[in-house]
Structures are given as C-alpha cells and as structure tokens.
C-alpha cells in the first residue's frame, strides 16, 4: 500500500522534530549533562516515534476503508504492523 504524501505531512513534521531532538540528546551526552535530563529527552523522542508509527498505520487503515479493492494489505497484515510498534 502506498500512502499519499499529503496524508503523511503531519508524520513527516513529527519525525523531523524527533530528528532535532535526537541531535539535542547527542549534544547533551557529549556535554556530559545529567542522566535524568538525557533519559527524559530519550523518552520524549521515543513517544514521538511511537505516535508517528501509529499515525502511519491509522492513515493506512483509513485508505483501506476508503478503497478496499485498491489496497493489498489485509487485516492480519495491518494488525501485525500495529503490534510491531508495541
């Protein structure tokens, strides 16, 4: 299934934000910042990535419901993708 770029704009924005956060975490480690601060930022990036993954799957589900004949993924495949994020 191909996801439409216009449907993925919010996901791309979220991933770019996470990319910036990762750069900040690397700098924090290089600057020997407090462990608590680093872990807090790692948790924020992890949550952002999870949300991006769920948004991709939700978009795929919407497309499947809108045009079931045009999509190659079945329910079991979508479920497997969803569970891979857990």
CA 59 to chain CA centroid, Å, is: 12
pLDDT, position 65: 72
- The CA distance from 4 to 41, in Å, is 31
Whether the model clears a pTM of 0.85, i.e. scores above it, the answer is no
Per DSSP, helices labelled H in 1-86 are 9-30, 35-66, 75-84
pLDDT in tens, 58-78: 888 787 777 767 666 677 777
- CATH superfamily label, 5-84: Metal-sensitive repressor, helix protomer (1.20.58.1000)
pLDDT in tens, 13-49: 999 999 999 999 999 999 999 999 999 999 999 999 9
Question: For residue 72, what are the contacts with CB-CB under 8 A and spacing of at least 6?
Answer: 1
């Amino acid at each position: 299934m191909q996801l439409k770029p216009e449907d993925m704009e919010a996901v791309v924005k979220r991933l770019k934000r996470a990319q910036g956060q990762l750069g900040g975490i690397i700098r924090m480690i290089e600057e020997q910042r407090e462990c608590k601060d680093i872990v807090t930022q790692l948790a924020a990036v992890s949550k952002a990535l999870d949300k991006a993954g769920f948004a991709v799957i939700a978009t795929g589900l919407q497309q499947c419901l809108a045009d079931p004949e045009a999509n190659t993924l079945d329910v079991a495949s979508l479920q497997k993708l969803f569970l891979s994020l857990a």
